[in-house]
Amino acid sequence: MGLAALLSLSACFHDEDLTPLPIVTEGCLTDVAYEPARRLVGVYCADCHAQGGHNATHKDAWGHAIQLDTRQEWLDGKKHLLIRLQPAVATDEDPPVDVMPQLSFPFQPTQAERDTLIEWIKRGSPNTVSGFE
Ligand code: HEC
């Protein structure tokens, strides 16, 4: 194998390890008035679940799993979102599913940030600045 081929082979493997760039608040839930949801989903989910996400493999999620570009998609995903946002619930599924964001993702929400999203979902994700009706 020539040097060029070796180099392109290693470049190819390297691509798999590229740390995704967070798109942070842009391009997800754009029609949502509740800023904490836009911001948290922007940091922790949009890379893989928004159309403009930077994750090299985001198509695996955006194309085949849930899309989080709009509030309607968020509302439609309620059941799955509640499972995936709670680590204990995700591992309790039969078979277990991956908690979101995946543990390999470099940006991990705090428990308080998870709770902000979970509680907003449980309130029906009201589209107000306060996140309450
Ligand atoms: C690094 C990429 C990545 C990040 C970041 C990420 N996800 Fe995912 N997500 C995926 C992939 C890939 C799948 C499909 C595989 C699976 O079901 O586990 C998925 C599946 C899901 C599902 C299941 C959809 C279904 O129909 O069953 C939900 C819900 C979900 N993600 C929500 C989220 C939320 C909410 C966040 C942010 C808190 C997030 N994801 C962050 C890649 C990601």
Q: What is the mean pLDDT of each run of 10 residues along the chain (133 residues)?
A: 45 48 69 95 90 71 87 97 98 97 91 98 98 95
Give the CA count within 13 Å in the CB-facing half-sphere of 9. 6
| Spatial CB neighbours of 35, under 8 Å, sequence gap ≥ 6 | 129
Question: From ligand 1's centre to the CA of 8, what distance in Å?
Answer: 30
* pLDDT at 87 (0 to 100): 97
Ligand 1 pocket mutation pick from 48, 58, 70, 80 by most atoms within 8 angstroms of CB = 48
What pLDDT is recorded for position 53?
A: 79
Q: What is the pLDDT of residue 18?
A: 54
CA dihedral 30, 48, 101, 61 (to 10 degrees): 110
Q: What is the pLDDT of residue 10?
A: 41
Would you say the CB of residue 98 lies under 6 angstroms from ligand 1? yes
Q: How far is the CA of 5 from the centre of ligand 1 (A)?
A: 34
pLDDT given for residue 58 in this prediction: 64
The predicted model scores a pTM of 0.85
